[in-house]
């Protein structure tokens, strides 16, 4: 018998051994991964840990929830948590709310809590309206017995604002003398009944941080503007018009006026100065001495005049290009009436305001 014919069967046996060994290794690796998965989702992170609040906002997805759970120390692995939720097909079953969680709970127990919506009864709801000033928010929080208006005013003022600048990068271009007016995002919130003032302010700022997406920030930078300028413009737009499409047109008119060195002539700024809304302001009103008087001084106001919502912020970033130059609001319907030429604007004023 030839030597090569003896080697061939030995080679086949050797290959079979290698394949068998690989199969064994794969089985062992799979078993180890399965064991790690079961351990991860069924074993608490810290059996001696203390309870803490955890919030699921409306619209939070599993990835966002997993990231927050990991950051708060409630789970070991975001990947294992997300995989477990996916295997159970619970992606859309989590209910928004404030939960009392503990590191003593395993990941699977936490999932059950979220699916059943076992939110704690230590929560309450607050609703902040688009266009409210800090003063109005303060009065509202006092009425709701959350904190005194003067305490909120201090927290949202220039001095306290410094403590939030290190936590929220969007405040980096805010002038040192400016407070948090404009950044306290109007929305519906669920908070702990015993939440402190700083916690409430941080929630509002955190919401602003999420709403001002990366693409929006990039566009602001591309335009050579600051977030502070955008928020200031958005606050004026918020107080001027109601409809989203009108906001974008007004934004275009205002940015054009700034570009051309013209005063904005915003009635909203007169309302801010005088503390009263009028269908039409007098000549004397327009002469009121204030840096916020956009009839007297060109450019933006020194800072926001209210806290704008997302529609107004987007309008300030993405203005509509039109050939309109003037506008007014019909006091009866609230509709915005646009005009191209000044004489047309005068006729509209006679028709709707006189």
Assign residue 91 the CATH number of its domain: 3.30.1490.480
Per-residue pLDDT, 2: 47
If asked whether residues 164 and 266 sit together in one domain, one would say no
- Whether residue 345 sits in one domain with residue 245: yes
Domain annotation covers residue 21:
no
pLDDT score of 104: 81
Is residue 33 in a domain? no
Domain's final residue, options 72, 98, 116: 116
Residues 251 and 174 in one domain: no
- 101 lies in the same domain as 86: yes
pLDDT along the chain (354 residues), means of 10: 54 64 64 61 73 81 89 84 84 80 82 76 83 97 94 94 92 95 95 84 95 97 98 98 96 97 96 92 95 97 98 98 94 92 93 86
Environment class of residue 339 by beta-carbon count within 10 Å: exposed (0-12), middle (13-18) or buried (19+)?
middle
**The pLDDT of residue 38:** 67
Q: What pLDDT is stored for residue 235 in this prediction? A: 98
Residue 65 lies in a domain: yes
Q: Which of 139, 135, 176, 173 is nearest to 307 (CA)?
A: 135
**Exposure string (b/e) for 177-202, b if CB count within 10 Å is 16 or more?**
ebbbbbbbbbbebbbbeebebeebbb
Q: Quick check: is 106 in a domain?
A: yes
The pLDDT of residue 339 is 95
Note whether 95 and 114 are within 8 A (CB): yes
Count of other CB atoms within 10 angstroms of residue 50? 8
Expressed as residue numbers, the domain containing 195 is 123-211
Q: What is the rounded distance in angstroms from the CA atom of residue 216 to the CA atom of residue 318?
A: 9
Is position 13 within any domain? Answer: no
The Cα 331–Cα 336 span in angstroms is 9
Cα first-last separation, the chain: 118
Residues 104-153: pLDDT tens digits? 888 888 888 888 876 655 668 899 999 999 999 999 999 999 999 999 99
Q: What is the C-alpha radius of gyration for the chain, rounded to an integer number of angstroms?
A: 30
Two tokens, residue 346: 């005068």
Structure token pair of residue 310:
């997302």
Alpha-carbon gap, residue 263 to 260, rounded angstroms: 9
Residues 57 and 104 both lie in one domain: yes
Q: Residue 278 in 3-state DSSP?
A: coil
Strand partners, 124: 191
One domain for residues 262 and 312? yes
What's the domain count of the chain? 3
d(C-alpha 149, C-alpha 108), whole Å: 42
Q: Are residues 258 and 347 in the same domain?
A: yes
Q: Are the CB atoms for 246 and 255 separated by under 8 Å?
A: no
Which pLDDT tens digit goes with each residue over 80-100? 888 888 888 887 888 887 787
Per-residue pLDDT at 110: 86
Is residue 141 included in any domain, yes or no?
A: yes
In this structure, are residues 161 and 153 in contact, taking their beta carbons and an 8 Å threshold? no
pLDDT score at 201 = 95
Q: Residue 144 — φ and ψ, nearest 5°?
A: -85, 5
**How far apart, in whole angstroms, are the C-alpha atoms of residue 295 and residue 16?**
89
- Predicted local distance difference test score (pLDDT) of residue 1: 45
Q: Is residue 216 included in any domain, yes or no?
A: no
* Model pTM score: 0.69
The pLDDT of residue 231 is 98
Both 93 and 134 in one domain: the answer is: no
For residues 268 and 328, membership in a common domain is answered with yes
Q: How far lies 158's CA from each of 96, 144, 165, 242, 293, in Å? A: 33, 24, 11, 29, 21
Whether residue 86 is found in the same domain as residue 173? no
Using CA atoms, how far apart are residues 31 and 155, in angstroms rounded to an integer? 54
Residues 73 and 99 in one domain: yes
Pick the last residue of a domain from 211, 229, 249. Answer: 211
**Domain boundary pick from 95, 116, 137:** 116
Tokens of 202: 């941080």
Phi-psi region of 335 (alpha: psi -120 to 50; beta: other; left: phi over 0): beta
Question: For the chain, how many helices (H) and strands (E)?
Answer: 15, 6
In a domain, 23, yes or no: no
**In a shared domain, residues 88 and 178:** no
């Amino acid at each position: 018998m030839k030597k090569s014919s003896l080697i061939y069967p030995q080679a086949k046996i050797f290959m079979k051994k290698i394949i068998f060994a690989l199969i064994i290794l794969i089985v062992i690796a799979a078993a180890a991964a399965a064991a790690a998965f079961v351990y991860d989702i069924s074993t608490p992170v810290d059996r001696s840990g203390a309870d803490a609040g955890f919030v699921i906002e409306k619209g939070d997805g599993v990835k966002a929830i997993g990231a927050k759970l990991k950051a708060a120390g409630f789970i070991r692995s975001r990947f294992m948590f997300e995989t477990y939720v996916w295997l159970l097909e619970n992606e859309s079953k989590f209910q928004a709310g404030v939960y009392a969680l503990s590191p003593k709970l395993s990941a699977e127990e936490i999932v059950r809590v979220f699916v059943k919506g076992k939110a704690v009864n230590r929560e309450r709801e607050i609703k902040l309206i688009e266009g409210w000033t800090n003063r109005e928010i303060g009065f509202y929080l006092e009425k709701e017995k959350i904190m005194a208006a003067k305490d909120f005013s201090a927290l949202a003022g220039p001095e306290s604002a410094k403590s939030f600048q290190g936590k929220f990068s969007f405040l980096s271009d805010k002038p040192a003398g400016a407070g948090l007016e404009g950044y306290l995002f109007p929305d519906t919130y669920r908070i702990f009944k015993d939440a402190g003032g700083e916690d409430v302010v941080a929630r509002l700022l955190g919401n602003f941080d999420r709403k001002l997406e990366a693409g929006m920030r990039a566009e602001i930078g591309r335009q050579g503007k600051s977030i502070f300028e955008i928020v200031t413009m958005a606050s004026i737009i918020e107080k001027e018009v109601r409809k989203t499409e009108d906001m974008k047109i007004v934004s275009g008119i205002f940015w054009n006026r700034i570009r051309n060195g013209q005063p904005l002539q915003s009635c909203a700024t007169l309302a801010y100065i005088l503390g009263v809304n009028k269908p039409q302001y007098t000549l004397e009103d327009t002469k009121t001495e204030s840096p916020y008087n956009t009839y007297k001084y060109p450019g933006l106001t020194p800072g926001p005049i209210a806290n704008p919502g997302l529609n107004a912020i987007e309008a300030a970033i993405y203005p509509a290009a039109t050939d309109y130059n003037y506008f007014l609001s019909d006091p009866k319907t609230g509709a915005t009436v646009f005009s191209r030429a000044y004489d047309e604007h005068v006729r509209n004023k006679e028709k709707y305001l006189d």
